[in-house]
């Protein structure tokens, strides 16, 4: 059938398919070059190191689907990390309570972004650029730039450094978050609304969808996820400092965009984001095993991003060129 053939063709050209091939090719290449790259230990290592950025990228996906952006998640990770340390060490809270409070702080911080964006109708780029500085500044002020939190109990460090049922202990949290956000985006009316807002915010309002509430939900969710990432980060490194998570927001945005989500909103998938995270994580880890300097990783990530983005547009461009050649140019009819 013609439509089946067409469907197969579009599936092959789908961004996620191309990206999956990239990840597999990366894997094959580094496995042939690096000595220990393909080992189970190293695979777990890659996972451990990509959980925090992966969480931020997952939470960033709904936001970018609404044609918004959140630059503050990296700074918020830093703020949450040191507040978590503060709750535990200075307020003498037990770890679970400190974690709960930290997540509360994350929700509040996301709520601040949401309020500024939906009530004051300021562009998300400007709002989160502001809170990007604000959250980091707060973290530095609280620690006066020198205080670090260490000597966490072993039971807490287990989360970031040990294995549970044979896999890194933080991975189940990440998998749960990935499934949750995938369901949210792809299987609920909320995800549908995010897309609609990304395509046409006014049109969405005219359909009776509470645009402000949906936007607020996406930003608060990002705040909560950033707090969870902060706790995992602290556990993995065994310490919390004010500069935790510096630059993570850009890695997260890169992963989302690499995963095929349009920065203009509306288009994108959560599994694409996961592949984007994987492509970057495998590349960074593989280069270390191939004994390449760290700087190469940045360059190659940039190159990968540009290549991945053009790979999906080039077939479209070719198709439209072919169409234009086939149909004669007609004068537009004025109505």
Partner 1 sequence: MRALKGVSFDLLAGEVHALLGENGAGKSTLIKVITGAHQPDGGSIEINGEQVAHLTPASAHKLGIACIYQQPALFPDLTVAENIGLRLEPSSPLKKVNWPARRTRATELLQRIGAEISPEAEVRSLSMPEQQLVEIACALGAGARIVIMDEPTASLTQKEQHLLFAVVKDLRANGVGVIYISHRLDEIFQLADRVTVLRDGESVGTHAIGARVCDPQQSKTTKNAMESPKAEFDSTSCGSESRAPEMNESSLIKLMVGREVSAIYPPSESEAGNVVLSLKHLGCSAGGVRDVSLEVRAGEVVGMAGLVGAGRTELARVLFGITPADSGEILLNGERVTINSAQEAVAHGIAYVPEDRRRHGVILEMPIAHNMTMAIHRRIFPGAWLRFGAEKQLALDFIHNLGVKAYGTEAPGGSLSGGNQQKVSLARWLATKPKLLILDEPTQGVDVGAKSEIHKIIRHLAKEGLAVLMISSDLPEVLGMSDRIAVMRGGTITAMLPGKSDAHEVMAAALGQKEGAE
List contacts with partner 1 (CB under 8 A): 187-193, 195-196, 199-200, 202-210, 266-267, 333-335
Closest CB 184 distance from partner 1, rounded Å: 9
The Cα 266–Cα 251 span in angstroms is 21
The Cα 173–Cα 151 span in angstroms is 23
Q: Which of 151/334 has CB closer to partner 1?
A: 334
Say how many residues make up the chain: 335
Q: Which of 8/206 has CB closer to partner 1?
A: 206
Q: Which of 205/289 has CB closer to partner 1?
A: 205
Token readout for 195 is 């897309």
Closest CB 213 distance from partner 1, rounded Å: 9
Closest CB 158 distance from partner 1, rounded Å: 35
Label residue 239 exposed, middle or buried (CB < 10 Å: 0-12, 13-18, 19+).
middle
End-to-end CA distance of the chain: 39
Closest CB 319 distance from partner 1, rounded Å: 16
Contact 39, 289 (CB under 8 A): no
Closest CB 272 distance from partner 1, rounded Å: 17
Q: Which of 72/204 has CB closer to partner 1?
A: 204
Q: Which of 322/331 has CB closer to partner 1?
A: 331
Long-range pairs for 164-167: beta carbons < 8 A, 24 or more residues apart: 167/44, 167/47
Q: Which of 172/210 has CB closer to partner 1?
A: 210
Closest CB 211 distance from partner 1, rounded Å: 9
Residue bearing tokens 């077939």: 315
Contact 176, 187 (CB under 8 A): no
Closest to 114 measured CA to CA, from 68, 80, 76: 68
Closest CB 270 distance from partner 1, rounded Å: 14
Contact 16, 274 (CB under 8 A): no
The Cα 327–Cα 164 span in angstroms is 61
Closest CB 208 distance from partner 1, rounded Å: 4
Q: Which of 187/324 has CB closer to partner 1?
A: 187
Contact 123, 201 (CB under 8 A): no
- The SS3 of residue 117 is helix
Buried b (16+ CB within 10 A) or exposed e, 257-276: bbbbbbeebbbbbbbbbbbb
DSSP 119-186: TS---HHHHHHHHHHHHHHHHHHHHTTT--B----HHHHHHHHSEETTEETTHHHHHHHHHHHHHHHH
Q: Which of 193/284 has CB closer to partner 1?
A: 193
Q: Which of 12/207 has CB closer to partner 1?
A: 207
Closest CB 79 distance from partner 1, rounded Å: 31
């Amino acid at each position: 059938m013609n439509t089946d053939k067409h469907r197969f063709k579009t599936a092959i050209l789908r961004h996620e398919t191309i990206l999956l091939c990239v990840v597999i090719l990366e894997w094959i290449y580094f496995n042939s070059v690096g000595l220990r790259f393909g080992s189970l230990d190293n695979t777990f290592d890659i996972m451990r190191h990509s959980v925090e950025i992966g969480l931020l990228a997952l939470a960033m996906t709904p936001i970018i689907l609404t044609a918004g952006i959140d630059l503050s998640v990296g700074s918020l990770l830093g703020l949450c990390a040191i507040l978590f340390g503060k709750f535990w060490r200075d307020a003498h809270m037990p770890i679970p309570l400190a974690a709960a409070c930290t997540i509360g702080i994350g929700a509040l911080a996301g709520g601040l972004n949401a309020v500024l964006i939906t009530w004051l109708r300021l562009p998300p780029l400007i709002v989160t650029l502001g809170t990007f500085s604000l959250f980091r500044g707060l973290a530095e002020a609280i620690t006066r730039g020198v205080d670090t939190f260490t000597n966490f109990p072993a039971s807490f460090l287990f989360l970031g450094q040990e294995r549970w049922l044979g896999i890194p202990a933080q991975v189940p949290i990440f998998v749960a978050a990935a499934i949750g956000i995938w369901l949210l985006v792809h299987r609920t009316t909320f995800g549908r609304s995010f897309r609609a807002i990304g395509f046409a915010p006014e049109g969405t309002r005219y359909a009776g969808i509470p645009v402000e509430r949906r936007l607020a939900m996406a930003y608060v969710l990002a705040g909560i996820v950033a707090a969870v990432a902060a706790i995992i980060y602290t556990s993995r490194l065994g310490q919390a400092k004010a500069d935790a998570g510096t630059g993570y927001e850009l890695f997260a945005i890169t992963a989302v965009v690499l995963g095929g989500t349009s920065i203009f909103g509306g288009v994108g998938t959560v599994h694409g984001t996961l592949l984007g995270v994987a492509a970057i994580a495998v590349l960074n880890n593989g280069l270390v095993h191939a004994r390449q300097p760290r700087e190469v990783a940045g360059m190659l990530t940039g190159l990968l991003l540009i290549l991945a983005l053009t790979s999906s547009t080039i077939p479209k461009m070719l198709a439209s060129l072919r169409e234009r050649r086939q149909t004669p140019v007609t004068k537009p009819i004025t109505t």
